[in-house]
Copies of this chain bind each other. A is one copy, B any other.
Amino acid sequence: MAVMNMVQAINSALDVKLADDPSVIVFGEDAGLEGGVFRVTEGLQQKYGEKRVFDTPLAESIIVGSGVGMAINGLRPVCEIQFDGFMYPAFNQIISHAARMRLRSRGTYSVPMVIRAPYGGGIRALEHHSESMEALYAHIPGLKVVIPATPYDAKGLLISAIEDNDPVIFFEPKKIYRAIKQEVPEGEYRIKIGKAAILQEGDQLTVVAYGAMIRTVQQALQKAKKDGLSVELIDLRTIYPMDADTIINSVKKTGRLLVAHEAPRSFGPAAEIIALVNEEAFLHLEAPPARVTGMDTVVPLPKGEDLYFPDADRVYDAIKRTIDF
């Protein structure tokens, strides 16, 4: 097996599917010739040609909207939006069409499309390059939302996303694009969309997180371990449809819940998880479910970003307080 970072693992997933299925095409701003601003599609145009891997004009609505059309006419488009902060010009195409074409046409037409975008904060970037707005997409009926936390998961989930018969928003935590290296099979394998992973077992507290936040939580858990605390860590992997069972079973065991994400707190993903747990495991809850999240403000420019994003200390602090309740 090769050792890959997330950029390489995603590239490998695209490579596998491009080789395997002629209906797969890959495109986006700068995604062709230069292989994307993060080099995720590097080498693919050279290998598969300009018809299958190509650059587009600077226009997100038509990138997604033409993807809808391509999918209707038999392709499996994988489009790249250069940063998650630039998906909004395409929002109408996503919510009004990608998410609805199957239902609208009673299954006559469907949109097996993947919209990939580098996602999340922590790279000291310009404005609009650091947000975590997955809740917007998770709330829209008809979309699946996937956020991997490791190279291995990224590849397996992306292959599943490309093979999925419905539109998938695939957010790639840019902070850990190159931060984690891992053994990743060169060939094809799948990780099921809609299935969370238990990364660590424990019985005093359930922590739910995903994406780059997993690493932050893991750092906090090292400290917690030294304190003798027994914490279960769930990597959600898919935001919608959510793996409620894994979360609920865990909370039934631990009696306590903490959700950590970079997204703004109010109306964010943690709220949904807390609501679900209330509905299904109310009598098991021994402490108020807690949230460690971004603020209800715009992400600050780099000089302020460390104040904004939850770090291991903040997660640790919340772990302690929830267990001590």
Contact = CB atoms under 8 A, between A and B. Distances in A.
A295 B141 contact: yes
A269 B272 contact: no
B298 A138 contact: no
Contacts of A309: none
Interface stretch (A20-28, A67-75, A88-96): A88-96
A178 interface: no
A289 B267 contact: no
Task: List the number of copies, as a whole number.
Answer: 2
A258 B128 CA distance: 36
Interface string A49-85: 0000000000001000000000000000000000001
Interface string A229-271: 0000000000010100000000000000000000110111111
A56 to B, nearest CB: 17
Q: Label chain A's interface by main secondary structure.
A: mixed
A222 interface: no
A290 B298 contact: no
User: Size range of the interface on A?
Assistant: 35 or more
A270 B275 contact: yes
Interface of A: 61, 85, 88-89, 91-92, 95-96, 99-100, 103-104, 127-128, 133, 135-136, 138-142, 240, 242, 263-264, 266-272, 274-275, 278-279, 282, 285, 287-291, 295-298
Given A95-B133, A267-B272, 16 more contacts: A85-B96, A88-B95, A89-B91, A91-B92, A99-B298, A133-B139, A136-B140, A141-B296, A142-B298, A268-B272, A271-B271, A271-B275, A275-B291, A278-B289, A279-B288, A282-B285
